Structures are given as C-alpha cells and as structure tokens.
Structure 1
Amino acid sequence: MYDRILVPTDGSQGVERAIQHAVDLATAHGSTLHAVYVLNSASYGGVPIETSWEGLHDMLQQEGEHAIERVQAIADPAGVPVVGSILEGSPSKEVVRYAEENDCDLVVMGTHGRGGIDRLLLGSVAERVVRSSAVPVLTVQVGDGERER
C-alpha cells in the first residue's frame, strides 16, 4: 500500500516519535523512507548583518545533515532504506512539493498539537501540509504531550 513514505524532520528530539512511526509503517509495508530537512532561510532574516550568510548557510546545512543521519540511525535496525534530501524554502511548500514530485504515498510528520492563541500566532507547518497536500498526511503528536483544549 505504501511504497514511498516521506518523513520531514527538523532534527529535534521530539520528532523522533514521528520518525519511529514512519519506520514502523515502512517495515510493515516494505517501503522506502524519504527523509527531508528544509532549510528555512526566511526565518533567519533578523540575523545581524555582520553574520556571514555563507557561514550561517553552512551551519544550517550541517544541522540538516545531522537530522537526516538521525533518521538513518533509527531506520537502520529495522532494515528500512532511507533516501535523504536537504531542501531550501518554505517548509510546508517544500514538503508538499517533494511528496508530489517523488510520488510519495504518505507523509508522516510530527505536530506539537498547539491550540488556541499559540496555534493562531505560531501557525503549524503540519497544518499547512495537511491543507495543501494531495498526498495523505499522518500527523503524530510530539513534544511533552500537553495539549490545550
């Protein structure tokens, strides 16, 4: 049913719950896991001018490589093949674009499950992906488990 499962990662420890869920699904279906990390350069617009863009970009690239390596480390014991990609742009748009261009069957991504004013002010990459993706999206609660209702 699922040949290609996409799992976006931000490299945080909390997202590992979503990664493990994606690995479990990939194991059950004999799937390939596509791990993506998106460099969101727009969110670094407030960095002081003296900061070297090249240095910042290199740092973000390295962070992305570590995040992809962590997905690989979680998938390896289960024998799940991983294709890793580092993308640049708006995280939600890049996840949707990658899923569609690579014929992914499912997107598995973490969400913090914020409610109320936090969701209104912060928005949610997962929510934007759910609303705009033609590919089915499975969200997995990550973080401390406290939800505002």
Structure 2
Amino acid sequence: MKKILVPVDFSEHAGYAVEVAAKLAKDFSAEIIVLHMMGLSEAYLSKSESEEAAEAHFYMKLARKRYETFLNKPFLKGVKVTEMVQNYKIFSEINEVAKENNIDLIIMGSHGASGVSEIFVGSNTEKVVRSSDIPVLVIKEPSPLFTPKLVVYACDLRVESIKAYHSARALFENWDLKLHLVYVNLPNEEFMSSGEIKKKADFFLKVAHNGAVPSNTEMIYVSDYSIERGIFNHANDVQADLIAIPTHGRSGIAHFFKGSIGEDVVNHANLPVITFKV
C-alpha cells in the first residue's frame, strides 16, 4: 500500500477517515492525498467569465484555509499529505482521480443512515462506492488504532465473485489477520442443504486458491432471515474488526446478492466496512 485517497468535506466523520489513513500511512510508509470537492452549482457555472474566475479563486482560497485547520493534527506528523481541491460534482470523478494517482485505497467517513432499508442512498459515500474500481474503506467511528485482526467477508460462493475476493486478499496481505468467508443460507427459494453448500464452497475455494486454501482463511456457513443480519450477527459474535462486502459497482451494494446485501450492515454496523468491485 503506497497511496491513500481521502475525499473530505471537513466534517467530523471525514476527520475519522483521515486519522485511519494516517495510521495506515505510518504502518506502510504510504502517502495520503486529501481531496475536497467544491461541487459548484450550475448557477455558478453560468456566470460571466470574470465572475466565475473571481468566485473560483474565493472558494479555492476558502478550501485551502479550511485545510490548514482540518489537517493540523498530531497524528499527521511525519506523514506525507498532498492537498487537492477540485470543482467536481459527479462523484464518479473520484475514481478517475484515484486511477490517475495510482491510489491503492480510498477511505471515507460516513454516519450511515437511519432507515432499515437504506444504505448510503443519495449520500456521497454510496456514490463513490458505486463508481469506484478501487477498494473503499468506510469509517463510522473514531478508530485511531485501526489494525484489523479478524475480517468477515460476505461471500456468495459464485465464481464470478472471485475477482473481488482476490482484490480483498491482495489488500489484506498488508495485515496479519484471520479471514472468515461467510455464506448466509436463507429460508427462501435459494435455500441449500449443508451438503450442497459444502460442495459449492469447496468448488469456490478450489478455483480461487487452486486447491490450497491459506491457513488464515475459514469458510463459515450461517442461517438467517437476511444476508445483512447473517453478516452483521456473525461479525458481532466473533468480535470482528472489519466487514468486507463485494459490490457490482453502479448497481450498488444492495444488488450484490440479487438485490439484498449491505443496507443493515453498512448503515447500522459501527464496524468499519470495506467494499471491493466485482
């Protein structure tokens, strides 16, 4: 891990993300790029060229001033931090910034949502998750000592999901951790017997690891009334440090398991959540 991108709006939760980024930057001798998106309105863009230039200068100067206070933190001492201010309004542009700067990880702060059926609906974090080809780590609470030792990975046992799984393993190699691959068996038309699940899991692991499953990896089967509950409950039971969820990008996390994954997990788990593009 060499470069970390942290999109910020100068909020308290954005501060949590920067603190985690600082911890990882120190652990892996990485650098941080903090990005503030001004997102000026169409009304602004319709102004005359001179007015537009004057206001752009004003907002740029204001953002730089806010950076002075926002980044004046003891935990950033000794960390290389690059500030960026852009007039982006479409959050998919963050993916382009990440690619252009060879970013390995995007970290964002989020307060989640209050509704049980909501995920990041309409929020900046969800927009980034949907458009990002790069892993996105979502921080919900202060985590100054962030070092995951046990990760719960939501696994649907489908071969087409192996790409995301490999991306996760590549990032997790940065930490000495245990990985629980959790398949949630539901009481619906997709219900499988224990034997059927084992057969499917064995095939998934054989393809993913060429038959040699790493010693730090354990396949877990749980039964529950929703994927969200199954992942969330297992993470709580084993006192996991991080929940990992694959996503199909623009269709959103909520469409991963045929329309049902992530709402309760991401919004109501206080644990950090990381997403990987399928």
| TM-score bin (small chain) | 0.7 to 0.9
How big is the alpha-carbon RMSD for the aligned residues of Structure 1 and Structure 2? 3.2
TM normalised by structure 2 equals 0.43
Can you give the 5+ residue segments of structure 1 that lack an aligned partner in the other structure? Answer: none
Question: Is contact 1:19–1:71 with CA below 8 Å preserved after alignment?
Answer: no
Question: Where has structure 1 moved over 4 Å in runs of 4 or more?
Answer: 52-56, 119-122
The 1:121–1:71 alpha-carbon spacing in structure 2 relative to 1, beyond 3 Å, is closer
The 1:10–1:96 alpha-carbon spacing in structure 2 relative to 1, beyond 3 Å, is same
Question: Is contact 1:36–1:68 with CA below 8 Å preserved after alignment?
Answer: no
Corresponding pairs, count? 140
Give me the whole-angstrom Cα distance separating, in 2, the residues matched to 1:82 and 1:71: 12
The 1:103–1:121 alpha-carbon spacing in structure 2 relative to 1, beyond 3 Å, is closer
Counterpart in the other structure of 1:114: 113
The 1:88–1:142 alpha-carbon spacing in structure 2 relative to 1, beyond 3 Å, is farther
Letter in 2 for 1:106: L
Can you give the 5+ residue segments of structure 2 that lack an aligned partner in the other structure? Answer: 143-266, 270-278
Structure 2 residue 94 is the aligned partner of structure 1 residue 95 = yes
Give me the whole-angstrom Cα distance separating, in 1, the residues matched to 2:120 and 2:110: 15
Give me the whole-angstrom Cα distance separating, in 2, the residues matched to 1:11 and 1:71: 7
Q: Which moved more, 1:9-18 or 1:127-136?
A: 9-18
Structure 2 residue 138 is the aligned partner of structure 1 residue 126 = no
Question: Is contact 1:9–1:15 with CA below 8 Å preserved after alignment?
Answer: yes
Give me the whole-angstrom Cα distance separating, in 2, the residues matched to 1:121 and 1:132: 13
Counterpart in the other structure of 2:11: 12
Give me the whole-angstrom Cα distance separating, in 1, the residues matched to 2:91 and 2:21: 18
Question: Could you say which structure has the greater relative contact order, defined with CA pairs below 8 angstroms and 6 or more residues apart?
Answer: 1
TM normalised by structure 1 equals 0.76
Letter in 1 for 2:20: H
Quote how far apart the aligned CAs of 1:141 are. Answer: 1.3
How many percent identity over aligned positions? 26
Give me the whole-angstrom Cα distance separating, in 2, the residues matched to 1:122 and 1:78: 35
Question: Is contact 1:23–1:75 with CA below 8 Å preserved after alignment?
Answer: no
Give me the whole-angstrom Cα distance separating, in 2, the residues matched to 1:72 and 1:29: 20
- Map 1:1-149; keep pairs closer than 5 Å: 2-42=1-41, 45=43, 53=52, 56-70=55-69, 72-74=71-73, 77-90=76-89, 92-116=91-115, 123-141=122-140
Give the number of the structure whose alpha-carbon radius of gyration is greater.
2
